[in-house]
A and B are shown apart, each in its own frame.
Chain A
Amino acid sequence: AQTVTQSQPEMSVQEAETVTLSCTYDTSESNYYLFWYKQPPSRQMILVIRQEAYKQQNATENRFSVNFQKAAKSFSLKISDSQLGDTAMYFCAFTVTQGGSEKLVFGKGTKLTVNP
């Protein structure tokens, strides 16, 4: 089965501090894409960062970076200098190919609260 596991249902961090959200996944594919999506309360889901599995270099987007460990099938998200606007649900996801079909599979999400 192709699955995504986010082991931290909820996390909190103080403003300006750093927080790391965990994600592990399971796939037999050799090439795939991994994503972190952010869903603020009552707002649209938006892409935070994306990693191509064949690239060894970890992706970064401003304050957001990932630690991609392909052998361990781990894809954690680090948020530096946390801001109040970072409060949201964060979903880890990756693409899977099943029976010739290609889909995005999501984890259960981590609810992040940034405290002032």
Chain B
Amino acid sequence: EADIYQTPRYLVIGTGKKITLECSQTMGHDKMYWYQQDPGMELHLIHYSYGVNSTEKGDLSSESTVSRIRTEHFPLTLESARPSHTSQYLCASSEIKGQGVKRAFFGQGTRLTVV
């Protein structure tokens, strides 16, 4: 249904490595989000963007960084992965139309394990 893609789906990586989680959407949406979710738990917003060159930190503090150079692309980077970064990362996008988020589309998520 949704044209929003995340890669990789699963990633196991050693401590100290630099990683980038990719997120792309083909719907032309201005707003994009990154959520962090532990298994079976709630979603926590860690980053969001309203458009190109716009990035903001979310409610949950995260050591990750994001960039928005193109509308369709919103990658998340961890410079030095740690076991505490083990989690699922969900990317989402939505349109800006009038008042209120009309609908958010989610990617399939990246399950990150840092060993």
Interface residues on A, range: 20 to 34
Q: Is the CB of A104 within 8 A of B42?
A: no
The reply to whether the CB of B48 lies closer than 8 angstroms to some CB of chain A is yes
Q: Is the CB of B90 within 8 A of A31?
A: no
Chain B residues near A91: list those with CB within 8 A.
42-43
Q: Which of B16-24, B66-74, B76-84, B96-104 has 4 or more CB atoms under 8 Å from chain A?
A: B96-104
Q: Which of B101, B104, B105, B108 contacts A43 (CB 8 A)?
A: B108
Chain A residues near B33: list those with CB within 8 A.
103-104
The reply to whether the CB of A101 lies closer than 8 angstroms to some CB of chain B is yes
Question: Which among B40, B45, B107 has the highest number of chain A CB atoms within 10 Å?
Answer: B40
A 14-45 contacts with B by CB, 8 A: 31-33, 35, 37, 43-45
Question: Which among A31, A104, A111 has the highest number of chain B CB atoms within 10 Å?
Answer: A104
Chain A residues near B58: list those with CB within 8 A.
103
B 85-102 contacts with A by CB, 8 A: 90, 92, 94, 99-102
Using a CB–CB distance below 8 Å, which chain B residues touch chain A? 1-2, 31, 33, 35, 40-43, 45, 48, 50, 56, 58-59, 90, 92, 94, 99-109
Q: Can you report 27 residue pairs joining A to B where beta carbons are below 8 Å apart?
A: A31-B99, A33-B101, A33-B102, A35-B103, A44-B106, A44-B107, A46-B1, A46-B2, A47-B103, A47-B105, A52-B100, A91-B42, A95-B100, A95-B101, A102-B31, A102-B100, A103-B33, A103-B58, A103-B59, A103-B101, A104-B33, A104-B45, A104-B92, A104-B94, A105-B45, A106-B35, A109-B42
